[in-house]
Amino acid sequence: MSFRMPIRKMATAARQSLKIGLIPADGIGHEVIPAARAAIEAVGSDIPKPEFVDLLAGWEVFTRSGVALPEETVDALKECDCALFGSVSSPSRKVTGYSSPIVALRKKLDLYANIRPVVSVAPTAGEKPDVDLIVVRENTECLYVKQEELTNGEKGKEARATRLITEYASRRIGKMAFELALNRPRKHVTIIHKSNVLSVTDGLFRETVRGVPSLPEVNGRFDDVTIAEQLVDSAVYRLFREPQIYDVMVAPNLYGDIISDAAAALVGSLGLVPSINAGDNFVMGEPVHGSAPDIAGKGIANPIASIRSAALMLRYLKYPQAADRIDKAVDEVIREGKVLTPDLGGNSKTNEVLAEVLKRI
């Protein structure tokens, strides 16, 4: 899963240590985040000495304290170099006082890009994977601004939600997508939208991202990147039929969430797909999967997505050698196919998969 990340504005001065916030949050987060920590520790001198800070957030914290994201956690993260987030068990019904802590963290830390690579492991080392794409999801607006209201109308209750798309957010997520594409062999960006129906909101997103290569400050940097676009419904269809047509897919918040989860089915499991929440000054790794309450505590959660998220985070922080070692180890375990968790058809435990990865790191 090795690929180059764009050069960011984050500080590049040599660090004596790497301060990493750990937020397991809910469910299997408590099982997979320790695995990601172990993988980071295993790379040794390829990174500065890691210093881990255990932090609280999530539904379980809310049920105990009435607060899903304690201010102490936010303050502590501002003193960290990066972070890893596990998973959250947000209820499907409205609960007074509760709001998703991961959504809040993305906004408070301005982690405007959710970068989700979806790459299949080729049967033989060195072969080209069947699926090799990146979903770049705008992380701060769309329907996730969470502005909803319930009123009484002539025909009963009426529920409305505000969907926010801004030129500012669309431009900077577009720049991120083009930067990523520029560092990939195909140099291809597909803009995902539904502007045939949502002509104002999705229309603004589409036109803004399309205009990124023409920005004066870009100065022709993205001239070699090919631009395509796809309606979100047909994009999902083509994702399953011909995933090889996609390289970098850039989408508003909701579409990006749906597309990346769907793409995970192409590589075998949500338990394999990593992500980072990235901004110009901070990065937080996060496996794409949820809290999986049905298997929480059973010791069979797949740790690979979290381990890969740790690698992706290190790559973003400009430690490619450490990231490559982790990704190569994971690829070997998957390719060998002897030690896999049940979601991949195996019968191994979380700690057994971790042990195999660590052995290869």
108-120 residue pLDDT tens: 999 999 999 999 9
Q: Write down the catalytic residue from 19, 26, 112, 194.
A: 194
Cβ-based neighbours of 200, under 8 Å, separated by 6 or more: none
Single out the residue in 250, 278, 306 at which a domain terminates.
Answer: 278
Instruction: Name the domain count of the chain.
Output: 2
Q: How confident is the model at residue 93 (pLDDT cuts 50, 70, 90)?
A: confident
> Where residue 145 sits, what CATH number does that domain have?
3.40.718.10
Q: Write down the catalytic residue from 257, 327, 331, 343.
A: 257
Upper half-sphere CA count for residue 113 (Cβ side, 13 Å):
31
Question: Quick check: helix, strand or coil at residue 82?
Answer: strand
What pLDDT, on a 0 to 100 scale, did the predictor assign at position 7?
44
- C-beta neighbour count of 218 within 10 angstroms: 14
Say yes or no: 172 and 33 in one domain: no
Say yes or no: 71 and 131 in one domain: no
Q: Write down the catalytic residue from 54, 75, 223, 233.
A: 233
Q: Write down the catalytic residue from 46, 130, 261, 280.
A: 261
CA pair distance 226, 157, nearest whole angstrom:
46
What pLDDT, on a 0 to 100 scale, did the predictor assign at position 28?
98
> pTM, whole model, 2 decimals?
0.92
For residue 141 the two structure tokens come to 């607006």
Q: Write down the catalytic residue from 144, 246, 316, 319.
A: 144
Say yes or no: 7 and 103 in one domain: yes
Q: 111: buried, middle or exposed (CB in 10 Å: 19+, 13-18, 0-12)?
A: buried
Say yes or no: 87 and 75 in one domain: yes
Single out the residue in 256, 278, 300 at which a domain terminates.
Answer: 278
pLDDT tens readout for residues 207-237: 999 999 999 999 999 999 999 999 999 999 9
pLDDT exceeds 60 at position 269: yes
Q: Reply yes or no on whether 144 is catalytic.
A: yes
pLDDT exceeds 70 at position 104: yes
Q: Reply yes or no on whether 261 is catalytic.
A: yes
What pLDDT, on a 0 to 100 scale, did the predictor assign at position 16?
86
